[in-house]
Chain A
Amino acid sequence: MTILVCDKVEKDYTLDSRRIRVLGTVDLVVAKGEFVVIAGSSGSGKTTLLSILSGLDRPSSGRVVIAGKDITDLSEDQLAPLRNTLTGFVFQGFHLIPSLNALENIMFPAELNHDPAARSKALDLLEQVGLAHRQTSFPEQLSGGEQQRVAICRALINDPAIVFADEPTGNLDSENSRVIVDLLLSLHRQRRMTLVMATHSRSLAGRADRIIRIHDGQIVGEERPGA
């Protein structure tokens, strides 16, 4: 069953009246429960593609459909509930809200969704990632690995159908990277969620169901490591 469709998506920027193409014509289909890695070198367009797929950015042309809903022309306010419940996002830079502690950061999307069980869900997630003892710590008091675990919990609290992760281990040491990848994959399996991850890590890409290789904004190849 298809969860994500990317149909002839292109992205241009205008700089000093020059048009710069950062993403060529991209076609992509992701099945529900699939773990897809978008791999490519730095500057290849991975993050741009991920931003467009997740609805954080708008393509210059083409269409993006998530869970049967065309999000291409939705306004920011129309996108908001989709971002809240349908998708989750894990960033390389964690992007926790500095004024909220770990528990509050995780609860935040659920509270936006008026979920009365926000606190208990957040506590469960913290327990799962081994950070229950850090629930009152603020982001600046957490290590990089801990911050990323909190960010993963936050992405999962509304039980999204699809989680996008942009270089989730890019700011972490090898030990923390291993922990985060294991965590993401175990959650992916447990929850049967779709995971679309941008990375240039070969070892991480090797654990995906499918790898989409991207270069200079174009998909240049696709492989299935397990096949």
Chain B
Amino acid sequence: MKWRLIFRDIVHSRSQATVFVLCVALSLVCIVAINSFRNDVRQAIIGDARALHGGDILVHSHYPDSPGLAGALEEILTDEGVDGLRTWEFYSVVRRADGKESLLAGIKAVEAGYPLYGQVELLSGGSLATVLKPGQVVVAAAVLERLGLEQGDQLLLGQSSFTIADVISRESLRPVDFFNFGPRILLSADDLPGTELVQGSSRVHYQTLLRLDDAQRIDELAALLQARAIPGQERVSTYATAGSNIKRFFDNLFFFLSLVAVFTMLLAGIGMQSSLAALLRGKERSMAIFRALGATSAFLLRHYLLLVLFLATAGAVIGIGGGLLLERLFLNLFATLLPDNVVVGASLADILEGLGLGLAVVAFFTLLPLSSIREVKPTAVFNKSVVRRRNSRERMVLLACGTFLLGGLVIRQLADLQVGLSLMGGILVLVVSIALLTSLLLSLLARLPEPPLALRQAVRSLLRPGNATRSIVATLASAFSVLLAIYLLQDNLQRNYIQAYPPDAPNLFCLDIQKDQRQGFLQLVGEDVELFPVIRARLTAINDRKIDPQVRPERRGDSLTREFNLSYRDDLQGDEEVIAGGTLYQPGRPDPQAQVSVLDYVAKLGKIEVGDRLSFNIQGVPLTAEVSSIRSRTRSMLYPFFYFLFPEQFLQAAPQTFFAALAVEPGAVSALENRIVNAFPNISTINVSETAAELGEMVNRLAVIVAFLASFAILAGALILVSSVLATRLERIREVVHYKVLGAGSGFVIRVFFFENLLLALFSAGSAVLAGQAAAWGLCHFLLEVPYPPEPVATFGFALAMVGMVVALGLLSSLGIIRRRPALYLREL
């Protein structure tokens, strides 16, 4: 009997039940898909930290090992149970043997035994150890594609020619390519000197990798090496402590996607609450009859709890299934961002996690509607009035418990207490603000002097008891504001960094020009090209206060502890202005007192002011200088600039290379690159406009992924709209019957519903535009520090689309009510 009754109740309220099930499913789809996909990606790419980093202990530097560190490494490598090897990694332009095509590639010279952990898989199936013989290289497939070469052809690296022996199909130390300027080329360390690519001041990433048989000794040996390393210049880490750009990228991406998924879950939760409330409202008369016949409120609570559990389980199954299907779709969405070896699939843990999550969300969002069952009194049999919910202390306690549970859930999903609390708080503020704004607008509308009849009825309808006007507006506006903010942000990034590539901006950067190559280089590219000296150095102290590498004051992920490029010149560049200190350098200072002009960006980063003393370590040589001025720039980042600028006399003798930024006709870039590299194989060229285009593609792809997920939030908003129509179905039928009995045609009824949905849509769109614009402006202004054009046309188009969707959906879901004949309902009302 119990289950038959539940089944009948569901069939009788199938519309509400369907919306409830869909909301449960929707709340889970994104979360399950993202959690499962994140696990799979971690498993494939970043799960094995040793394979990702290539050793137990990693020693990094941009300089050859200092004597102290070299000695310590030598001692350790004599230990039994310790293996080690060195690698040299840098970017350089490689060429076809005929010199007709060239390509910037990520070159890595490795000693025998590479890799200590993980694998370099070759297309032939052979092992790297046997293939990588002197005179041979293995390359990524992109090298062959872009240079038009085949396996067995010759490839020029610097002064040497190599045979392409095989193609790399996967490298566990470099699982994805999108972080790198150029495709991978591996060569034997023995061949490196012959290329003459590594010269004084060349930008090379030196790395020593160690493998220990005894894992217990890792921390001890790492500490020993760290003690002998030059702080700030040489970094010792273990596979457990080393940072990884790839790991950081995916962690950040999945974190952000989790935010969107949690947002969707919360919106779908509101839909759950609304549709369950609608279902229970339709059952109030039955419940009252049950009560009149002697059923206790506990009986009713048990009955509807079982019904909710049944529906929630159905929704969770659909949601988990949908999530796993969506995960497969992610493979397409993430294409080019992921290596081929990512295999998606559902583990039992993923499914159980999804189920637990779903039931917890359902528990929170159904708590209040279910608790109202206890308020149904048997007297409701005699009057047809709606059961009034009272704000009892019990409801407040329930709400507080539910919020605590939900907060815990969100924090667990995001794995970040601060962000979790901020998200909950932010959503609460957003939703409450929009709800308050809606209330204000509604009360203003209600005070309008004599609006047309249909409009007046529409306003009254929005204020009808049980109408979820504020919930609908808040939910739709929140969902749409997120989408709008994403769109505006993506568009703005495109405009600032990619599309708005200034016509006179340099599009070919040339790096690592040696001192003795200056004349020849200028003859090749033109005497009017400016060469910027580049001296690599670290900032060690501000006003004798040492910069602690452990304390990293960061801004946009930047830090004072990193290596900086210093330069020297005696005048400002065309796009620079002095904003503090009056002139670039202070005249009349005695020669021994070095001066330095600091760019405003780094001045903010280190809270540096004019008159401060900055200490630098220039490749082992200390230099202290007083800050003479703070500079600011008026053009985009595409023009060359230096954070620290010295008078020439102080850096002239420092080890240095030169950098040139050329503005070349786009069609002539390739040919010039070839000429430069053929003449000076050690010089690296970067086609900046091409790189910007690649970056643009990646930004677009990421935006598509985020927008795709955010569209689920729109779906949640649409479900809430439908559930609200269902929740107020009786009231709507009553209104329609009254209108018709009193002589209104269906045209009038449609006009009332149209105005009602139009007002809903306008409130939602208006709020979404306000919130979305504010969010995008805030992100651009405070986080990205780029100009913010509000894009009025696009915003208007967005709002129009939203209004169209809401009006269409609202009218469609009310059509069934409009068509009813009045006599059928008069007896029931």
Chain A nearest CB: distance from B824 CB in Å? 8
Q: Which residues of B contact A147 (CB under 8 A)?
A: none
Is B748 an interface residue, CB under 8 A from the partner? yes
Is A47 an interface residue, CB under 8 A from the partner? yes
Chain B residue at smallest Cβ distance from A84: B743
Is A99 an interface residue, CB under 8 A from the partner? yes
Is B87 an interface residue, CB under 8 A from the partner? no
Is B735 an interface residue, CB under 8 A from the partner? yes
Chain B residue at smallest Cβ distance from A52: B823
Q: Are B743 and A80 in contact (CB under 8 A)?
A: yes
- Which residues between 716 and 757 of chain B lie within 8 Å of chain A, taking CB atoms? 731, 734-735, 737-738, 740-748
Query: In the complex, A20 Cα to B744 Cα: how many Å?
Result: 31
Question: What mask results when residues 44 to 55 of chain A are scored 1 for a CB within 8 Å of chain B, else 0?
Answer: 000100010000
Identify which of B742, B827, B829 contacts A112 (C-beta below 8 A). B742
Q: Which residues of A contact B461 (CB under 8 A)?
A: 99
Is B8 an interface residue, CB under 8 A from the partner? no
Q: Are B741 and A83 in contact (CB under 8 A)?
A: yes
Q: Are A81 and B826 in contact (CB under 8 A)?
A: no
Interface hub of B457, B742, B829 (most chain A Cβ within 10 A)? B742
Query: In the complex, A113 Cα to B743 Cα: how many Å?
Result: 9
Q: Are A51 and B823 in contact (CB under 8 A)?
A: yes
Query: In the complex, A163 Cα to B737 Cα: how many Å?
Result: 17
Given contacts A58-B821, A76-B821, A112-B453, contact A95 B744 (CB under 8 A): no
Is A91 an interface residue, CB under 8 A from the partner? yes
Q: Are A56 and B742 in contact (CB under 8 A)?
A: no
Q: Are B748 and A112 in contact (CB under 8 A)?
A: yes
Chain B nearest CB: distance from A117 CB in Å? 15
Is A100 an interface residue, CB under 8 A from the partner? yes
Query: In the complex, A100 Cα to B735 Cα: how many Å?
Result: 11
Number of interface residues of B (CB under 8 A): 29
Q: Which residues of A contact B742 (CB under 8 A)?
A: 83-84, 108-109, 112, 154
Q: Which residues of A contact B824 (CB under 8 A)?
A: 57
- Which residues between 783 and 826 of chain B lie within 8 Å of chain A, taking CB atoms? 821-824, 826
Q: Are A57 and B821 in contact (CB under 8 A)?
A: yes
Q: Which residues of A contact B745 (CB under 8 A)?
A: 76-77, 80-81
Is B463 an interface residue, CB under 8 A from the partner? yes
Question: What mask results when residues 447 to 472 of chain B are scored 1 for a CB within 8 Å of chain A, else 0?
Answer: 00000010001001101110000000
Given contacts A56-B826, A95-B826, A100-B460, contact A82 B743 (CB under 8 A): yes
Interface hub of B741, B747, B821 (most chain A Cβ within 10 A)? B741
Identify which of A77, A85, A95, A99 contacts B741 (C-beta below 8 A). A95
Q: Are B821 and A89 in contact (CB under 8 A)?
A: no
Chain B residue at smallest Cβ distance from A94: B829
Identify which of A47, A77, A97 contacts B735 (C-beta below 8 A). A97
Q: Which residues of A contact B748 (CB under 8 A)?
A: 80, 112
Is A206 an interface residue, CB under 8 A from the partner? no
Query: In the complex, A158 Cα to B385 Cα: how many Å?
Result: 30
Chain A nearest CB: distance from B537 CB in Å? 75
- B interface list, Cβ under 8 A from A: 385, 453, 457, 460-461, 463-465, 731, 734-735, 737-738, 740-748, 821-824, 826-827, 829
- A interface list, Cβ under 8 A from B: 47, 51, 56-58, 76-77, 80-85, 89, 91, 93, 95-100, 108-109, 111-113, 140, 154, 158
Sort A-B residue pairs by CB-CB distance and give the 8 closest, nearest first.
A84-B743, A57-B823, A80-B745, A99-B460, A83-B743, A51-B823, A56-B823, A77-B745
